[in-house]
Amino acid sequence: MTAGRLSIIHVDLDAFFAAVEQRDRPELRGKPVIVGGDPRSRGVVSTCSYEARKFGVHSAMPTRTALSLCPDGIFLPVDGAKYQRVSREVMAVLRRFTPAVEQVSIDEAFLDVAGSEALFGPAPEIARRIKAEVVAAVGLTVSVGVATTKLVAKVGSDLRKPDGLVVVQPGEEAAFLAPLEIRRLWGIGPKTADRLHGLGIRTIGELAALPPGTLTRALGDHGATLHDRALGIDPDPVVGGGETAKSVSHETTFAVDVTDAAEIERTLLALTEGVSARLRSAGIRAGTVAVKIRDSEFRTITRQKALPEPSDLTDTIWRAALELTRPEIRGKKIRLLGVSATQLGQPEQIGMFEVVDARQRRVVDATDAVRRRFGDRAVTRASLLHRGLPSPFERDPASAVEGRVGIPKIEDEIE
């Protein structure tokens, strides 16, 4: 990134999951579509159309609440596999303009177009072309922000949804941010916002006007970072052109709290199937496995362990996840379960464990080939049949809310 240069673009698909469903089913267009769990269960809203948002429905809201706010809402399950396919199509459009594309979730990405202007014109023109080409290629609208930094471009893309375009010229970053509410700034979550409200700070401009020392005393070193951000200062470059994801994760919320260890272990297997398949699809292996467990009292714990060697095999990752999970579920009612793979890297050479797993590797490769040809549900394990478990290749609405399967959040609140 060239400092002070108008070259950073943030692209954000509008109401992505709901928009895909409305695109594919014309009878849903103009209607309040809510993608998430069954409103009769304990699901959460993943995404909703703008028609539903008029009733107060929003992401991460319990679906039962969404139903009470919008009784005529059309509730649809999350089709993770379809949304991933569409996401890849959109990212391919973005890479027509620059290899410097940093995908930060299934529905958004940053671009640095500093090296593309000779071919496509200045950044605002590139942004307009991106909007038109995404519509032409996948039939969806995007909102776009153009600025000198990732922070300001992201804020810009959020301001005029749907189908918006906001350009913040060099030198106008602080003035652009000043009237906005502080929660729009990266790193300010509910707790930090409460502290700042206690100091009389409501807008980003008021935050920028506060002496840095005051912020440091109130928030520690994080205060100095927030002061820079309030001025539009963000040194974080766009990291694209082949950077691998930092994690791949899959989680599910049970319809009813579960105490049966066998059911929990089968669910863990289904989740691990999804994680390991995405690792293999991306050509990467995990060095560390982590589990996330939330009980009926909403206590959440995470545990992780390193693998003897990086792996993308379901059984290897599942065994590690089981070892982490078993001690934590005894005597508890489990509400949510998740598996994630981290410390990701490209396969290098066959390790000593891979020789032992050669037969398993052949079986996995054959299974993946069948699924690619006939669909994700073409092959599954006998132990997962007719169990009402999450499909290994479709994300639970709770995962979809996070929107970060394989990609870390860009929000970084420090509490």
- Identify the pLDDT of residue 245: 53
Q: Supply φ then ψ for residue 172, to 5 degrees.
A: -105, 10
- Are 336 and 390 within 8 A, CB to CB? no
Start and end residues for every CATH 3.30.1490.100 domain found in the chain: 247-402
Report the share of the chain in percent with pLDDT over 90: 55
Residue with the larger pLDDT of the pair 403 and 321? 321
Distance from C-alpha of 400 to C-alpha of 54, rounded to nearest angstrom:
21
pLDDT value, residue 367:
60
Predicted confidence at residue 283, as pLDDT, reads: 76
Residue that wins the pLDDT comparison between 166 and 285: 166
With respect to CATH, is domain 16-80 assigned 3.40.1170.60?
yes
Span 330-381, pLDDT tens digits: 999 999 999 999 888 765 444 444 444 555 656 566 565 544 444 444 445 5
pLDDT of res. 380: 54
Cite the residue boundaries of each domain of the chain with CATH code 1.10.150.20: 174-230
391 — pLDDT class (breaks 50, 70, 90): very low
Pinpoint the alpha helices (H) of 25-172: 50-53, 63-69, 80-94, 117-120, 123-138, 150-159
State the chain's mean pLDDT as an integer.
Answer: 82
Phi-psi region of 302 (alpha: psi -120 to 50; beta: other; left: phi over 0): beta
Residue 330, phi then psi, degrees to nearest 5? -65, 125
| Cα separation, 394 vs 376, whole angstroms | 9
Residue 210 Cα distances to 118, 174, 199, 219, 266, angstroms: 41, 14, 10, 13, 53
Instruction: Tell me which of 84 and 218 has the higher pLDDT.
Output: 84
Residues labelled catalytic = 108
By three-state DSSP, how is residue 187 classified? coil
Q: Can you give the pLDDT at residue 140?
A: 97
Question: Which CATH architecture best describes the domain 174-230?
Answer: Orthogonal Bundle (1.10)
Topology of domain 247-402 in CATH is: Dna Ligase; domain 1 (3.30.1490)
Q: Residue 415: what pLDDT?
A: 27
pLDDT exceeds 50 at position 96: yes
Domain(s) labelled CATH 3.40.1170.60 in the chain stretch across 16-80
Q: What pLDDT does 352 receive? A: 42
Whole-angstrom CA distances from 350 to 13, 90, 280 are 40, 34, 15
